[in-house]
Amino acid sequence: MSPVIRPMRPEDVPVAERVSDEGFFELDSRMRPADAPAPERRSDTHRAVWIQRTLHFVHHDPGGCWVAEDETGMVGMATSFRRETLWCLATYAVLPGRQGQGIGKPLLAAAMDYGSACTRAMLSASSDTKAVRIYRQAGFDLHPQMYLTGVVHRSAIPVVEKVREGSAADTDLMDSLDRAARGAGHGVDHGLMLRTWRLLVSDTSTGAGYAYLDERGRLALLAASNRRTAVRLLWATLAEAPEQATVGHVTAANQWVLDVCLAAGLRLHQEGYLGLRGMKPPAPYVHNGALL
């Protein structure tokens, strides 16, 4: 029996989390370079954050969240959301043993239908050969993503001034910065991020910007009105980073990230793509993998 594609309900979310974890763990194991450490399963904290975020999508964008189900249970899932004129794909996975059998494409078609009135679209793609084939067929331009990892050289960190803790009072400012960078505010997603993550803000007479640090202390999202402010915020996040730092989701339009991270002693790698429709890579901007 071929799977049925139906809307995701709140009670599906813990099962969807398992499907996504299976899909990405198998992908990480398959794509891992020989010298890279073995991939790890999601931690309990990471699972809880994933579930909270997906419940947020199901609540605000029920028309953008879908599952594929057959007599064995859930075999695939896709979550997406609309913010103003922008449609974003948050997560998309099919169980490893069921991939390449035509389950993923109708799932993505259902999610994309929800964004059919949007003029722009964003997604952060894995390097999975099937995923990139499907995204390109769906009209996405694929922009390679870089990431930087390593131990931050503390002595390289400059004195960072004009950065403060942020709060919900900064939401309008952040939405304005989002609109300038990607054409749409994060809107309700700022509420989610403010509940889950730490916010740093820089707001001076010459420029403004913000950066979120995730539950692991890593940079989760950064937007700024100019490069100088973006650089200041990135140094501030590296100053707060755990011993093993990672800065991900860097596009070629954001060479300033390389300048800062290489000066901090991190190593440069490449992984996945920023998929875009109807827009150019945002800059100065470091997107989030799910909230874009």
Ligand X SMILES: CC(C)(COP(=O)(O)OP(=O)(O)OC[C@H]1O[C@@H](n2cnc3c(N)ncnc32)[C@H](O)[C@@H]1OP(=O)(O)O)[C@@H](O)C(=O)NCCC(=O)NCCS
Q: Give 129 or 206: the residue with its C-beta nearer to ligand X.
A: 129
Q: Give 97 or 242: the residue with its C-beta nearer to ligand X.
A: 97
Q: Give 57 or 92: the residue with its C-beta nearer to ligand X.
A: 92
Q: Give 42 or 105: the residue with its C-beta nearer to ligand X.
A: 105
Q: Pairing relation of β-strands 285-286 and 244-250?
A: unpaired
Nearest residue to ligand X by CB is 104
**Residue 107 C-beta: closest distance to ligand X, Å:** 7
**Residue 77 C-beta: closest distance to ligand X, Å:** 9
Residue ranges with strand state E in the chain: 4-7, 65-70, 73-83, 86-94, 120-125, 141-151, 164-165, 198-203, 208-213, 219-224, 244-250, 267-277, 285-286
Of 281, 206, 266, the residue nearest 234 (C-alpha):
266
Task: Copy the structure tokens of residue 230.
Answer: 């973006």
**Residue 260 C-beta: closest distance to ligand X, Å:** 27
> How far apart (Å, rounded) are the C-alpha atoms in residues 149 and 29?
19
Q: Binding residues for ligand X, per CB under 6 A? A: 23-24, 27, 92-94, 99-105, 125-126, 128-131, 133-134
**Residue 194 C-beta: closest distance to ligand X, Å:** 26
Of 290, 246, 271, 215, the residue nearest 27 (C-alpha):
271
**Residue 27 C-beta: closest distance to ligand X, Å:** 4
What is the strand order of the sheet 267-277 is part of? 4-7, 65-70, 73-83, 86-94, 120-125, 267-277, 141-151, 244-250
Residue 112 contacts by C-beta under 8 Å, 6 or more apart in sequence?
80, 87, 89, 121, 138
**Residue 143 C-beta: closest distance to ligand X, Å:** 14
Q: Give 79 or 202: the residue with its C-beta nearer to ligand X.
A: 79
Q: Give 126 or 225: the residue with its C-beta nearer to ligand X.
A: 126
Task: Copy the structure tokens of residue 245.
Answer: 């730092």
The whole-angstrom distance between residue 229's C-alpha and the CA centroid of its chain comes to 22
Task: Copy the structure tokens of residue 190.
Answer: 């700022």
Q: Give 221 or 236: the residue with its C-beta nearer to ligand X.
A: 221
**Residue 24 C-beta: closest distance to ligand X, Å:** 6
